[in-house]
Amino acid sequence: MSCVYRSPAWEKMAPRAPRGLAPALLWGLSLFLGLPGPVWVQLSPPPKSSSPTEPHPCHTCRGLVDSFNKGLERTIRDNFGGGNTAWEEEKLSKYKDSETRLVEVLEGVCSKSDFECHRLLELSEELVESWWFHKQQEAPDLFQWLCSDSLKLCCPSGTFGPSCLPCPGGAERPCGGYGQCEGEGTRGGSGHCDCQAGYGGEACGQCGLGYFEAQRNASHLVCSACFGPCARCSGPEESNCLQCKKGWALHHLKCVDIDECGTERASCGADQFCVNTEGSYECRDCAKACLGCMGAGPGRCKKCSPGYQQVGSKCLDVDECEMAVCPGENEQCENTEGSYRCVCAEGYTQIEGVCVKEQIPESAGFFSEMTEDELVVLQQMFFGVIICALATLAAKGDLVFTAIFIGAVAAMTGYWLSERSDRVLEGFIKGR
What is the model's pLDDT at position 163? 93
Cα–Cα distance for residue pair 249/268, rounded to 1 Å? 22
Among 125-129, 220-224, 300-304, 355-359, which stretch is predicted with the lowest mean pLDDT? Answer: 355-359
Cα–Cα distance for residue pair 270/219, rounded to 1 Å? 58
If we measure between CA atoms, which residue out of 195, 187, 192 comes closest to residue 163?
A: 187
8 A C-beta contact, residue 303 and residue 291 = yes
Tell me which fold the domain 321-357 belongs to: Laminin (2.10.25)
Among 28-37, 47-56, 66-75, 384-393, which stretch is predicted with the lowest mean pLDDT? Answer: 28-37
Q: For residue range 1-42, what is the model confidence (pLDDT) as tens digits?
A: 334 333 333 333 334 444 544 444 444 544 444 444 444 434
What is the model's pLDDT at position 409? 61
Cα–Cα distance for residue pair 122/133, rounded to 1 Å? 18
Q: For residue range 388-399, what is the model confidence (pLDDT) as tens digits?
A: 666 666 655 555
Which residues make beta-bridge pairs with 206? 200
Q: For residue range 157-175, what is the model confidence (pLDDT) as tens digits?
A: 999 999 999 999 999 999 9
Question: Taking the domains of the chain in order of start, what are their residue ranges?
Answer: 57-149, 159-225, 272-317, 321-357
Long-range pairs, 242-247, Cβ under 8 A, ≥24: 245/210, 245/279, 246/279, 247/278, 247/279, 247/280
What is the model's pLDDT at position 126? 92
Cα–Cα distance for residue pair 177/175, rounded to 1 Å? 5
Cα–Cα distance for residue pair 376/120, rounded to 1 Å? 92
pLDDT confidence bin for 322, thresholds 50/70/90: confident
Among 26-30, 180-184, 244-248, 277-281, which stretch is predicted with the lowest mean pLDDT? Answer: 26-30
Answer whether residue 426 shows pLDDT above 80.
Answer: no
Compute the average pLDDT of residues 230-245. Answer: 95
More confident position, 184 or 328: 184
8 A C-beta contact, residue 274 and residue 263 = no
Compute the average pLDDT of residues 367-379. Answer: 68
Query: pTM of the full predicted structure?
Result: 0.51
What is the model's pLDDT at position 119? 92
Among 219-228, 247-256, 283-292, 401-410, which stretch is predicted with the lowest mean pLDDT? Answer: 401-410
Answer whether residue 50 shows pLDDT above 50.
Answer: no
Answer whether residue 92 shows pLDDT above 80.
Answer: no
